[in-house]
Chain A
Amino acid sequence: MREVPLQTEVKSAKRIKVSSLAKTRKRSDYFWAYLMIAPTMLGLIIFYLWPIVQNFYFSFTEWGAFGQYEWTGLDNYKRLLEDAALLKAFKNTSIYIIFTVPIGIFLSIIVAVLLNQNIKGKSIYRTLYFLPVITMPAAIAMVWKWMYNADYGMFNYLLSLVGIDGPQWVSDPNIALYSIIAVAIWSGIGYNMVIFLSGLQGIPKMYYEAAEIDGAGPVTVFFKITLPLLSPVIFFVTIMSLIGAFQVFDLIFMMIGKSSTALESTQSIVYLFYQHAFVLNDKGYAAAIAVLLLAVILIITAIQMVLQKKWVHYD
């Protein structure tokens, strides 16, 4: 009877000793960890977090010339509610997202699966698909703009050979947005492909061997093994592509001229933001647009985080 409490006493004494030791060690570990990430954190705070705070503050102000501003309370947000151009920009951006994200992901999975096979010259193909990613977006936009040119462009020349009078790819308000979407998909495949390739290579071979023994065909293998095991990667790529697509700007800026008749039907939220911030010098309102965009992206990403439990398999 006496031994038992004694034992527990010893045990608890030991535990106290161990835990206080762990605490001091933990504390010094934390210290070094924080010290190591301090340079990065500082950069993050100075260049990302602080501007976000400032932007939030500026969204309640109205700007004059050369950096003077005054507090106007909720005026900018009231304007947001009745701005038809903003609504149109949201619509354009939504169309852009609905097409580029799913089609882009679908195509890059296909390309990644194909290039994951043992085919001849696969590194050459991988390089070719990755090339647009390391090319400057501005250069991509310029080259495509030339190809799209209605009078002298390559596409309309090819169409004219078969007797078709090609459209004005980037000036026709009904087509321009889709022309941009095509370029966006084309230039985005390579980046996603590389991530999917690494995901594919992380799937253990034994599943495929087991499937082969059980007599599963390639289609069944793809849908029952590859896709579920790739789902964490698909989830990651979806989130990143969505955020990227919400912020589309460069392609539109480069390919659609300022006096183009197609500008209204292509301008994205960020384009509108740019227009107010740097062309009309309406920086307060631009800040409010940026806050709204941040909120929308946060909400959509949060929804994805909740939904992922239903379809993402972590082994």
Chain B
Amino acid sequence: MRKWVIVLLTVILGVLGLSGCSDSDTASGGEKDGKVEITYGFWDKKQVPAIEEIIKLFNEKYPDIEVKTEITPYGQYFQKLETAATGGALPDVLWMNGAHVVQYAEGKVILPLSGMAEKDNYSFDNYPESLIDLYTVDGNVYGIPKDYDTTGLWYNKKIFDEAGIPYPDETWNWEKLKEAAKQLTDQEKGIWGYAALMANQGGYYDFIWQNGGYIISEDGKSVGFDKPEALESLEYNVSFIKEGLSPTQAQMTETAASELFSSGKIAMMFDGPWMVPEYKKNPDLDVAVVPQGKKRAVSIHGLSNVISSNTKHKEEAWKFVQFLGSKEAAEVFAKTGTVIPAFNGTQEAWKESVPNLNLQAFIDGAEYSVPLPSVENTGEIWQYETDILKKAWSEEASIEEAAEDLAKKANEALAK
């Protein structure tokens, strides 16, 4: 009898010991000294100074809500969220992008905000309609827009001056871009005219739209990668690499194109406003609107703040999300020149934060912008794009082969 008591005790002690480990590490924070701690998950460490300032302002209003930040690099962000969501351990408040919002909303791991907003008289009219639409799933708004980004044609003035070519402007089109890239490329100095990035936003998506193509059909059942307009756009992109006007795909994975650009090895490249904090350090760099194809188009995307369903502090999280979406917070983002704030009317302040860059180019782009497509399996389609298109970019496969393969896999994903 006594022996069994000992066995039982051992087991209980063991189990207690084990559960002891996990108890202290819950993602959804606890309470201490009357203070409520909530966690805020995001990926961009360039925005940390702005976010820290916003949290400071937030604490002036709500001293009892402590916000703990959790940064995960973008490469692992959504993998970590997926696992955390399965285990009910998401941060209380977190960044969401358009590619994942449908999946997360339908998986019921993030909270609809419409009800709370109605109760608190919180208006969604303060943000561009396209962004609210992006985060509306089945009639419910799930995220408060934080910022938006379009793409611009960044260029190095010094390289242009040395080649004696006028800077890019709104009259530029595909032919002009190609022609300038040829004139700017200087193999002896190791300078490429253009970086043909293998990126969807600020890359082949923009070109496909400019050429009159589409990414996902309106009924959401098929993709347009294998259509003639798309093939032509992909061909145009890869031609820069084939003709030696752009670093090869291998070179751009060895050293990121943005690094080559900021160190003066690339004359022109597409990039977003999120690079402003980085590129403004180099006085040679400036930005213009992206060239046009058959028509003007540029992709637009914006992040939003969402609340996880597993939060233990729904009220506090909602207060924080409201504050993140406020004009006050938007002005902090504007002032620091970090991103284009989504709150209507604060964009001017953002533009003026870095006067020596033509930031108007990004705001101009918003007029003819196309939102990134968002369906339940966007994340999976993006993965196929990377896996398959890189073969076309590295010239291992022809554009037609890659596009056909991609369309087949993406259509299968859409049919799930």
The reply to whether the CB of B11 lies closer than 8 angstroms to some CB of chain A is yes
**Complex Cα spacing A163 to B3, Å:** 78
B254 contacts which of A39, A46, A168 (Cβ < 8 Å)?
A168
Please tell me if the beta carbons of A257 and B255 are within 8 angstroms of each other in the complex. Answer: no
Q: How far, in angstroms, from A46 to B198 measured CA to CA in the complex?
A: 44
Please give the number of chain B residues whose Cβ is less than 8 angstroms from any Cβ of chain A in the complex: 35
A136 / chain B contacts, CB cutoff of 8 Å: none
Please give, as numbers and ranges, the residues of chain B lying within 8 Å of A259 by CB-CB distance.
198, 249, 253, 386, 390
The B3-59 residues at the A interface (CB cut-off 8 A) are 3, 6-7, 10-11, 14-15, 17-18
Contacts of A152 in B (CB 8 A): 255
Chain A residue nearest in CB terms to B81? A66
Partner of B109 from A42, A66, A151 at Cβ < 8 Å: A66
Determine if A150 and B14 form an interchain contact, defined as CB atoms under 8 angstroms apart: no
Report whether A35 and B85 are in contact in the complex, using a CB–CB cutoff of 8 Å. no
Q: A171-B250, A258-B75 are in contact. Are A39 and B14 (CB under 8 A)?
A: yes
Would B255 and A46 count as touching, CB distance under 8 A?
Answer: no
A313–B404 Cα gap in the complex (Å)?
A: 59
CA distance A261 to B107 in the complex (A): 34
Are A150 and B10 neighbours in the complex by a CB distance under 8 Å? no
Is B103 positioned at the interface, with any CB of A under 8 Å from its CB? yes
Question: CB-nearest residue of chain B relative to A42?
Answer: B14
Residues of B close to A150: CB separation below 8 A: 250-251, 254-255
The verdict on A311 contacting chain B, using a C-beta distance below 8 Å, is no
> Distance (Å) between the CB of B84 and the closest chain A CB?
10
Contacts of B106 in A (CB 8 A): 65
With contact pairs A35-B10, A149-B255, A168-B250 given, residues A66 and B107 touching in the complex (Cβ less than 8 Å): yes
- Would you call A260 an interface residue if the criterion is a C-beta within 8 Å of the partner chain's C-beta atoms? yes
- Dominant secondary structure at the A interface: loop
Smallest Cβ distance from B177 to chain A, in angstroms? 23
Q: Assess the B79–A278 pair: CB atoms within 8 A.
A: yes
In the complex, what residue of chain A is closest to B13 when comparing beta carbons?
A39
By a CB distance below 8 angstroms, the chain A residues around B82 are 65-66, 278, 281
Whether a CB of chain A sits under 8 angstroms from the CB of B380 is: yes
B249 interface neighbour in A38, A261, A279, A280, Cβ under 8 Å? A261
Q: List B contacts of A35 (CB < 8 A).
A: 6-7, 10
Report yes or no: B249 in contact with A65, Cβ–Cβ below 8 A.
Answer: no
Interface 1/0 per residue, B369-396 and A, CB below 8 Å: 0000000000110010010001101101
In the bound complex, what is the Cα–Cα distance between A43 and B83 (angstroms)? 22
- Chain B residue nearest in CB terms to A85: B387
Kindly list chain A residues whose C-beta atoms are within 8 Å of the C-beta of B75: 258
Interface centre among A35, A65, A67 (most CB of B within 10 A): A65
- Chain B proximity of A274: nearest CB distance (Å): 9
Judge whether B255 and A279 touch: CB under 8 Å.
no
Whether the Cβ atoms of A257 and B253 lie closer than 8 Å is: yes
A residues less than 8 Å from B394 (CB atoms): 261
Asked whether any CB of chain A lies closer than 8 Å to the CB of B217, the reply is no
Give A65's nearest chain B residue, CB to CB. B107
Chain A residues positioned under 8 Å from B379 (CB to CB):
281
CA distance A172 to B249 in the complex (A): 10
Query: What residues of A have a CB within 8 angstroms of the CB of B198 in the complex?
Result: 259
Nearest CB on A from B297, distance (A)? 24
Known contacts A42-B11, A65-B103: does B253 contact A260 (CB below 8 Å)?
Answer: yes
For the complex, is B86 an interface residue (Cβ under 8 Å from A)?
yes
**B interface footprint on A269-313 (CB within 8 Å = 1, 0 otherwise):** 000000000111100000000000000000000000000000000
CA distance A35 to B11 in the complex (A): 10
Contacts of A223 in B (CB 8 A): none
Flag A31-42 by CB within 8 Å of B: 1 or 0 each. 100010011001
Q: Within 8 Å of chain B (Cβ to Cβ): is A170?
A: yes
Q: Are B109 and A170 in contact (CB under 8 A)?
A: no
Q: Please provide the chain B residues from 219 to 260 with a CB less than 8 Å away from any CB of chain A in the complex.
A: 249-251, 253-255
Docked pose: A183 CA to B27 CA in angstroms: 36
A280 touches B380 (CB 8 A): yes
Contact digits for B74-101, partner A, Cβ 8 Å, 1 yes 0 no: 0100010011011000000000000000
Closest 10 CB pairs of A and B: A171-B250, A67-B86, A261-B394, A66-B107, A260-B253, A65-B107, A257-B253, A278-B79, A150-B254, A42-B14
* A residues with CB within 8 A of B: 31, 35, 38-39, 42-43, 46, 65-67, 149-152, 168, 170-172, 257-263, 278-281
18 more CB-based (< 8 A) A-B contacts, given A42-B14, A66-B82: A31-B3, A35-B6, A38-B7, A38-B14, A65-B82, A66-B85, A67-B86, A149-B254, A150-B255, A171-B254, A257-B253, A258-B386, A261-B253, A261-B396, A262-B250, A278-B83, A279-B383, A281-B379
25 A-B contacts, Cβ less than 8 Å apart? A35-B7, A35-B10, A38-B10, A38-B14, A43-B14, A65-B103, A65-B106, A66-B85, A67-B86, A149-B254, A150-B250, A151-B251, A168-B254, A171-B254, A260-B250, A260-B390, A261-B249, A261-B253, A261-B394, A261-B396, A262-B250, A278-B83, A279-B383, A280-B380, A281-B82
* Chain B positions near chain A (C-beta within 8 angstroms): 3, 6-7, 10-11, 14-15, 17-18, 75, 79, 82-83, 85-86, 103, 106-107, 109, 198, 249-251, 253-255, 379-380, 383, 386, 390-391, 393-394, 396
